[in-house]
Amino acid sequence: MNIYIMADLEGISGIYCREQVTPDQRRFDEARRFLTREINICAEACKAAGVEKIYVRDGHGGSYTLLWDQLSPAVDVAICGITGDERYMGLEDCDAVILLGYHAMAGTGRALLEHTMSSASVQNYWLNGVRIGEVGLDAAILTDYQKPVIMVSGDDAVCREAKQFLPKVVTAEVKKSAACFGAALLSPALSKARIEEAVKTAIDAYHCGEFTYYPTEKPVTLRAEKVERSQLPLQAAKPYMKIIDGRTYEVTGETVEEALFRL
């Protein structure tokens, strides 16, 4: 069995403020250490549970967050930087996916660092008419490839959200949100134990066939509402898009991944 770990930053243990998730801020280097630490914990727990090979994708921002020279030997392949129109490069070699350090969708009340793709430009996404965040989008993309999401980690809000889209997914709650920029954090030792326990449970469940897909009707319609006016793409640049109003447009695709990249 091979596992793909897609790692975001906002839901990683120890992360709670804007300065930690923004590259030009003073606490970003601290957050990079926290992310790499949690990737290592997750990867080592996977290997302890019998996983043969582990792919890790740095999925935060421009994909320059993890510290490559501090990765555990348990990580076999680290995927960083731009990968064209493949959100999950190397996925064909893997059997299941862990979404590590995820966050709740934009607009979720009192959720830590909530947003969908970009807090600066995106107000909401809808997939086939259903309001959706990054957990749901990734689950839908992976369903098209028949690769189940078996575990999600982050704050309590994203764990609840994950269960809405994937009822059988295993969640690891490593902090409890108080506000967009505040949370009750577990200690490093407790968060480590929480991740390790969830990994073991998720892999055992996978072997028993206990996981959920998130299928979508085709063709796929993906709609985006922008934060501010005048943020819509130029019609000439995206002649296939349909403008809904001054801040909202939508595209279609044969797969969820195709629709996301067209958006």
Under 8 Å between Cβ of 65 and 13: no
Contact 115, 122 (CB under 8 A): yes
Average pLDDT, the chain: 97
Q: What is the mean pLDDT of residues 102-122?
A: 96
The phi-psi region of residue 101 (left if phi > 0; otherwise alpha if psi is between -120 and 50; otherwise beta) is left
pLDDT value at position 179? 97
Query: Looking at residue 48, what DSSP letter applies?
Result: H
pLDDT of residue 118: 94
Which residue type does 227 have?
V
Does the structure show a pLDDT above 90 at 84?
A: no
| pLDDT band at residue 106 under the 50/70/90 scheme | very high
> Is the Cα dihedral 144, 255, 160, 55 positive or negative?
positive
Mean pLDDT of 128-146: 98
Q: 189 exposed, middle or buried (CB, 10 Å; 0-12, 13-18, 19+)?
A: exposed
Q: Does position 254 have pLDDT exceeding 90, yes or no?
A: yes
Sorting pLDDT into bands at 50, 70 and 90, what band is 197? very high
Q: String of b and e for 69-82 (b: at least 16 CB within 10 Å)?
A: eebbebbbebbbee
Predicted pLDDT of residue 61: 83
pLDDT tens digits for range 201-239: 999 999 999 999 999 999 999 999 999 998 999 999 999
Distance between CA atoms of 222 and 133, rounded to whole angstroms? Answer: 12
- Tell me which amino acid residue 136 is: G
Mean pLDDT (whole number) for 95-121: 97
Percent above pLDDT 70 for the chain: 100
Alpha carbon distance 173, 251 (integer Å) = 34
Predicted TM-score (pTM) above 0.95? yes
Nearest to residue 49, comparing CAs of 211, 213, 212, 206?
A: 206
How far apart, in whole angstroms, are the C-alpha atoms of residue 225 and residue 126? 9
Complete edge-to-edge strand list for the sheet that includes strand 170-179: 77-79, 53-58, 2-7, 96-102, 149-155, 170-179, 182-185
The helix (H) or strand (E) run that includes residue 131 is: strand 130-132
pLDDT at 63 over 90: no
How much is the pLDDT for 62?
Answer: 80
- Strand order from edge to edge, sheet including 220-226: 130-132, 122-127, 220-226, 248-253, 242-245
The predicted model gives 96-107 an average pLDDT of 98
In contact, 232 and 246? CB cutoff 8 Å: yes
Integer Cα distance of 181 and 161 in angstroms: 19
Query: How do residues 34-46 score in pLDDT, each as one tens digit?
Result: 999 999 999 999 9
Q: What is the DSSP-derived secondary structure letter of residue 42?
A: H
